[in-house]
Structure 1
Amino acid sequence: MAMTSRFLSRSAPRQLYGGKAIMQPEQTILARSYAKEAAPKALKGDEMLKNIFLEVKNKFETAMGVLRKEKITIDPEDPAAVSQYANVMKTVRQKADLFSESQRIQYTIQSRTQNIPDARTYLLTLQEIRIKRGLTDDLGAEAMMMGALEKVEKELKKPLMRNDKKGMNLLMAEFDKVNQKLGIRKEELPKYEEQLEHKIAKAQLEELKKDALEAMETQKKREEFKDEEMPSVKSLDIRNFL
């Protein structure tokens, strides 16, 4: 077990705040919007930095408190282990007041697009966000959405601006048709978000497993560990290393 202890210093903390997963972009691009956070009160530089540090520190300590209590099995191939890990991370987010992945994407979309005046630039920005986050568009949703926009602009005989209520209503109607073709139902958005978090949980467990194996392989090359048998990754208890 000695050879496994260092992998958590590389892996566990970053799982609290990141990790890429493959998903369908229509599950986020066409998802419901989240309420815009209130603008923070203006603070002096030192006071602002102090508050930011304390907030991050408190969130981290809260998250680590949850991880010290919950058993995590590093077995990304076991659906039960993935579900358990997803539930643990959900508890971490709720208690530490952290965004879920879908909420982070929605916040990014909202902050990056709020001052964009036209629909075409808006859609292109969504595409840029998707690519930068390492998400895939396996169903071709973006091409269908752009096609819907071109149809509306052809009917209007001008570029569609986002403050054009009539034009935007036409576009939303076309987007509803896109959703229907893709089998996306607005009332099932919570299910799509849950599926996304499940995929992320699996991806993060795979990353933890990879890091653990790499750490054990590195340690095994050292003279004092050459005769030590490498344990199964899924037998490790992360709580012993926190």
Structure 2
Amino acid sequence: MAFTSRLISKSRQLYGSQIILHKEYALPLRGFAKEASRPALKGDEMLKNIFLEVKKKFETAMGILRKEKITIDPDDPAAVTQYANVMKTIRQKADLFSESQRIQYTIQSRTANIQDARTYLLTLKEIRTKRGLTDELGAEAMMMNALEKIEKEIKKPLLRNDKNGMALLLAEFDKINKKLGIRKEDLPKYEEQLELKIAKAQLEELKKDALEAMETQKKREEFKDEPMADVKSLDIRNFI
């Protein structure tokens, strides 16, 4: 069950901060229907609805995992792609966020009430740091330099409701995006690359867990003469 619990609920660290920067600066942040406001509920009714919703999502995920063959081989691109596709199917059928969508929603909810651009950018940095992301492109420093340039021009802190000032800043961001080779039409490709990196990391974790489990079992007297199975030959469906 350790395998299946990781497949369903384990969120891995993301590699590279491009998805935050691409999504936030190349396109306006969009909302997600999955997080739409719901009627206020009280007490037992709210708990019951939450339980039923989680139960439904869990059963949907388990149903898919019982049908799909997953090969625990993080070094095989085909296995990584297959695993990523299974996880994508689970997200779609169970109405779950992808990692990039989760990041977007975090940004949206954390920054909704921030009035000035500087605090906004600092909050993005905080979100990135807490998620263990690295700014490999050095984009954050470039964005902050652009903000400082605009604030010197307008001779005051830039507020997000300052349409003229924000237009100037976004123009600077467009220059940065162009310099870094970030294009709006490439955003789906960035998301796909991110999901493949996540899939590979999760398969590596599953492989590690499987090897540790087999090593522990081999120490038991009744299994000491049994050869260890190749992790790639394991069928997770047999453990569900």
User: Do both share a fold (TM > 0.5)?
Assistant: yes
The equivalent residue for 1:34 is 30
For the Cα contact (< 8 Å) 1:21–1:199, is it kept in 2? Answer: no
How is 1:123-202 mapped onto 2 (pairs within 5 angstroms)? 123-202=121-200
For the Cα contact (< 8 Å) 2:3–2:236, is it kept in 1? Answer: no
How is 1:205-216 mapped onto 2 (pairs within 5 angstroms)? 205-216=203-214
**Cα deviation, residue 228, structure 1:** 1.0
| Partner Cα distance (2:61, 2:110) in 1 | 28
1:141-178, Cα deviation, whole Å (9 max, x unpaired): 11111111111111111111111111111111111111
**CA distance 1:162–1:233, shift in 2 (3 Å):** same
Aligned partner letter, 2:10: G
The equivalent residue for 1:5 is none
- Matched residue SS, 1:30: helix
| Partner Cα distance (1:68, 1:95) in 2 | 14
**Cα deviation, residue 182, structure 1:** 1.1
Could you tell which deviates more after superposition, 64-73 or 147-156? 147-156
**CA distance 1:11–1:148, shift in 2 (3 Å):** farther
Q: Answer yes or no: is 1:18 the counterpart of 2:10.
A: yes
For the Cα contact (< 8 Å) 1:34–1:103, is it kept in 2? Answer: no
**Cα deviation, residue 184, structure 1:** 0.6
For the Cα contact (< 8 Å) 2:22–2:187, is it kept in 1? Answer: no
Aligned partner letter, 2:179: K
**Cα deviation, residue 24, structure 1:** 3.0
| Partner Cα distance (2:97, 2:14) in 1 | 18
How is 1:103-118 mapped onto 2 (pairs within 5 angstroms)? 103-118=101-116
**Cα deviation, residue 108, structure 1:** 0.5
Root-mean-square deviation (CA, aligned residues, Å) is 1.2
**Structure 2 unpaired stretches of 5+:** none
**CA distance 1:62–1:107, shift in 2 (3 Å):** same
| Partner Cα distance (2:13, 2:179) in 1 | 24
For the Cα contact (< 8 Å) 1:72–1:238, is it kept in 2? Answer: yes
For the Cα contact (< 8 Å) 1:20–1:134, is it kept in 2? Answer: no
**Equivalent of residue 48 in structure 1, options 46, 49, 57:** 46
Aligned partner letter, 1:20: R
| Partner Cα distance (2:155, 2:18) in 1 | 27
Q: Give the alignment's TM-score, normalised by structure 1.
A: 0.93
For the Cα contact (< 8 Å) 2:19–2:190, is it kept in 1? Answer: yes
- Matched residue SS, 2:9: coil
| Partner Cα distance (2:9, 2:191) in 1 | 17
Q: Give the alignment's TM-score, normalised by structure 2.
A: 0.94
Aligned partner letter, 1:168: M
| Partner Cα distance (2:153, 2:4) in 1 | 53
Between the aligned residues of both structures, percent identity stands at 76
Aligned partner letter, 1:126: L
Could you tell which deviates more after superposition, 35-44 or 59-68? 35-44
**Cα deviation, residue 223, structure 1:** 1.1
Q: How many residues align?
A: 234
The equivalent residue for 2:86 is 88
**Cα deviation, residue 75, structure 1:** 0.2
**Structure 1 unpaired stretches of 5+:** 1-8
- Matched residue SS, 1:211: helix
Aligned partner letter, 2:84: A
